[in-house]
Amino acid sequence: MILFAQSAKNRIPLKYGAIRLEKRQDEAMKRFRRNRLGAFIHWGLYSIPGGEWKGKMYMGAAEWLKEWAKVSSNEWMSLMEQWNPTDFNAMQWAKMLKEMGVKYVKITTKHHEGFCLWPSKYTKYTVANTPYRKDLLGAMVKAFNEEGIDVHFYFSVMDWSHPDWRSTIKTKEDSVAFVRFLKFTDNQLRELATSYPTVKDFWFDGTWDSSVKENAWWTAHVEQMLKELVPGVTVNSRLRADEYGRRHFDSNGQLMGDYESGYERRLPDPVKDLKVIRWDWEACMTLPENQWGYHKDWSLSYVKTPLEVIEHIVHAVSMGGNMVVNFGPCADGNFRNEEKIMMESVGAWMKKYGKCVYGCDYAGWQKQNWGYYTKNEKDIYMVVFNVPYSGLLLVKTLKGVEIEKAILLNGDELKIIELGREAYHVKMPDDDPGEPFVIKLVVKEKKETVDKYRDALI
Ligand code: H79
């Protein structure tokens, strides 16, 4: 593409930049892409206080409570004495998530606080040293895999529990400590990769500090190490920095890691931001405005409805991205009711209409206000969220593409009215489905279409 060709001329040599210029096309990456819908699980010591510390409720993200309430690491880690999720049932979690229709789950193996859900031998702050004792991560990996759900590991590089963690390197001592810290992190990552070899992805967080940016070599090394240890593994862009301290995209504007992971609690604009289709990407979102871990009081911010979550999922897929919906289970091992209802509602919709999500991609057709297009091979899906008063859904095809049929997923055919020059009306079904629904367009290409991936802005 033109933009790549231009930058190729001015490309500067980088030691720790992108290791490839195009999307990965191997089987493991195709699987990551096909999966499209995932769930996040944020579960750690922060799930115990649930946003409340010494009688005071904090509105900030519950998993950052240690920071908001200025709790010392020792005091925070003493929460481990209360860690005993007796209601935790990995098979039940796997079944619930399977019902929701997610194809993969991203689990917080270790969040910023430093508490490990697996019995790491490199720190005492693990589930093994709590009243619960058993390996929670291992139980989840096993149960999810048994249900055919891929497991991805969330891993925070920033570790508030570790004496050698530094956000900035100011002295020689800092630098020596940080080298030890990187060694410790390597050990934990190697431990995760070898103890749970079915892991499909590592999703890094807590990598924004200058200490990490100044050690770009280490981010490149981790990507390489994990890829050697786990064939096919995918790694998010948030891990990576180049030697100029550029993150996600290197100094030549090329994506580092396998997919872009900057869309946190937001999505690209379906018209203005079509550039995202040039790389793989994954967005993640919370149900409240910004709560990842369990927070006792969900009245403190707006909570998304199932309808909104379904729209976010389709929105992401329509632009060639994945969507990960977050859940923050309670410390006792139960999901809150709002989350259970969300899983069920999304699942019911995915069961009926998931065809427009799994394995689907950007269709290249001009977005219309009734909803989104997705595409699977030759089939185009219209995912209708807003029904116009006229009951007529405007469709503009790509040049040289003709619509032969418009059919509901139950097989009913809809009336098509040709308006001329690649424009059509598809007539709403007589009975309004009363929920977002899907129309499959069977299309015929009159001739080779050349502008499939045109950027709407150029
Ligand atoms: O795990 C969830 C969040 O806890 C974590 N990522 C998701 C998946 C996350 N929280 N915040 N961030 C990521 C972004 C960090 C923002 C920061 Fe800052 C801005 C870090 C440093 C400057 C906010 C302001 C936090 C500390 C100061």
pLDDT in the model for residue 347: 99
Q: How much is the pTM? A: 0.96
Statement to judge: residues 257 and 313 lie in one domain = yes
Between the CA of 285 and the centroid of ligand 1 the distance, in Å, is 13
Statement to judge: residues 20 and 83 lie in one domain = yes
Residue 132 within a domain = yes
Statement to judge: residues 187 and 237 lie in one domain = yes
- Nearest residue by C-alpha to atom 22 in ligand 1: 208
Total domains in the chain come to 2
Q: Which of 21, 4, 28 is nearest to 453 (CA)?
A: 4
Euclidean distance between CA atoms 48 and 54, whole angstroms? 13
Statement to judge: residues 170 and 132 lie in one domain = yes
Q: Is the pLDDT of residue 440 over 60?
A: yes
Residue 366 within a domain = no
Strands 201-205, 234-235: pairing is parallel
pLDDT in the model for residue 18: 98
The response to whether residue 282 sits with its C-beta less than 6 Å from ligand 1 reads no
Q: Is the pLDDT of residue 453 over 80?
A: no
> By residue range, what is the domain housing residue 236?
8-356
Statement to judge: residues 258 and 383 lie in one domain = no
**Entry field: residues in the chain:** 458
pLDDT tens digits, one per residue of 177-225: 999 999 999 999 999 999 999 999 999 999 999 999 999 999 999 999 9
- Nearest residue by C-alpha to atom 7 in ligand 1: 292
The response to whether residue 205 sits with its C-beta less than 6 Å from ligand 1 reads yes
Identity of residue 434: G
The response to whether residue 65 sits with its C-beta less than 6 Å from ligand 1 reads no
Statement to judge: residues 263 and 126 lie in one domain = yes
Tokens standing for residue 415: 């009336």
Q: What is the CATH number of the domain that holds 132?
A: 3.20.20.80
Statement to judge: residues 343 and 401 lie in one domain = no
| Domain edge (last residue) among 356, 380, 411 | 356
Q: Is the pLDDT of residue 433 over 70?
A: yes
Number of the ligand 1 atom closest to the C-alpha atom of 156: 1
pLDDT in the model for residue 452: 54
* Per-residue three-class SS string for 135-171: CHHHHHHHHHHHCCCEEEEEEECCCCCCCCCCCCCCC
Residue 228 within a domain = yes
Residue 95 within a domain = yes
Tokens standing for residue 22: 């195009």
Q: What is the CATH number of the domain that holds 413?
A: 2.60.40.1180
Between the CA of 157 and the centroid of ligand 1 the distance, in Å, is 12
Statement to judge: residues 26 and 159 lie in one domain = yes
Residue 179 within a domain = yes
Residue 361 within a domain = no
The response to whether residue 118 sits with its C-beta less than 6 Å from ligand 1 reads no
The response to whether residue 168 sits with its C-beta less than 6 Å from ligand 1 reads no
pLDDT-derived band at 384, boundaries 50, 70, 90: very high
Between the CA of 42 and the centroid of ligand 1 the distance, in Å, is 14
Statement to judge: residues 138 and 200 lie in one domain = yes
pLDDT tens digits, one per residue of 252-267: 999 999 999 999 999 9
Q: Is the pLDDT of residue 71 over 80?
A: yes
Residue 79 within a domain = yes
| Domain edge (last residue) among 299, 328, 356 | 356
Mutate to test the pocket of ligand 1, among 46, 263, 264, 286 (most ligand atoms within 8 A of CB): 264
The response to whether residue 208 sits with its C-beta less than 6 Å from ligand 1 reads yes
Number of the ligand 1 atom closest to the C-alpha atom of 64: 4
Residue 261 within a domain = yes
Euclidean distance between CA atoms 251 and 236, whole angstroms? 17
User: Phi/psi zone of residue 308: left (φ > 0), alpha (ψ -120 to 50 degrees), beta?
Assistant: alpha
Between the CA of 303 and the centroid of ligand 1 the distance, in Å, is 20
Statement to judge: residues 271 and 122 lie in one domain = yes
| Domain edge (last residue) among 356, 390, 420 | 356
pLDDT in the model for residue 8: 75
